[in-house]
Structure 1
Amino acid sequence: MSTNVVSESLISTLPGSTYVDEAVFRAEQERIFEQMWFCAVRAGDLDKPGAYRTVQIGRESIIITRNRKHGIRAFYNICRHRGVKLCMEETGEANRSFQCPYHAWTYDFDGKLIAAPNLTKMPDIDRQEYGLVTIPVRE
Structure 2
Amino acid sequence: MTSTSLPDSLIATLPGSSYTDPGIFAQEQERIFETMWFCVARASELAKPGAFRTVDVGRESILITRARDNSIRAYFNVCRHRGAKLCTEETGEVKRAFQCPYHAWTYDLNGKLVAAPNLTKMPDVGRTEYGLTSVAVREWLGYVWVCLAENPPSFEEDVLGAVVERLGDVASIERYDVD
TM-score range, shorter chain: over 0.9
Q: What is the DSSP-based 3-state SS (H/G/I as helix, E as strand, rest coil) of the residue aligned with 1:40? A: strand
Counterpart residue identity of residue 42, structure 1: R
Q: Superposition RMSD on alpha carbons, in Å?
A: 1.2
Q: TM-score, normalised by structure 1?
A: 0.95
Q: Tell me the CA shift for residue 4 of structure 1.
A: 5.8
1:43 — aligned with what? 43
Q: Tell me the CA shift for residue 127 of structure 1.
A: 0.8
Q: TM-score, normalised by structure 2?
A: 0.74
1:73 — aligned with what? 73
Q: Tell me the CA shift for residue 44 of structure 1.
A: 1.2
Counterpart residue identity of residue 42, structure 2: R
Q: Tell me the CA shift for residue 125 of structure 1.
A: 0.6
2:112 — aligned with what? 112
Of structures 1 and 2, the one with the larger relative CO (CA 8 A, separation 6+) is 2
Q: In 1, Cα distance between the equivalents of 2:70 and 2:92?
A: 16
Q: Structure 1: 5+ residue runs without aligned partners?
A: none
Q: Tell me the CA shift for residue 89 of structure 1.
A: 0.9
1:90 — aligned with what? 90
Counterpart residue identity of residue 25, structure 2: F
Q: In 2, Cα distance between the equivalents of 1:98 and 1:55?
A: 16
1:103 — aligned with what? 103
C-alpha offsets along residues 46-86 of structure 1, whole Å, 9 cap, x if unaligned?
A: 11110001000000000000000000000000100011111
Aligned residues: 138
1:22 — aligned with what? 22
Q: Structure 2: 5+ residue runs without aligned partners?
A: 140-179
Q: In 1, Cα distance between the equivalents of 2:84 and 2:3?
A: 54
2:172 — aligned with what? none
Q: Sequence identity, in percent?
A: 67
Answer 1 or 2: which has greater helix percent: 2
2:134 — aligned with what? 134
Answer 1 or 2: which has greater strand percent: 2
Counterpart residue identity of residue 67, structure 1: A
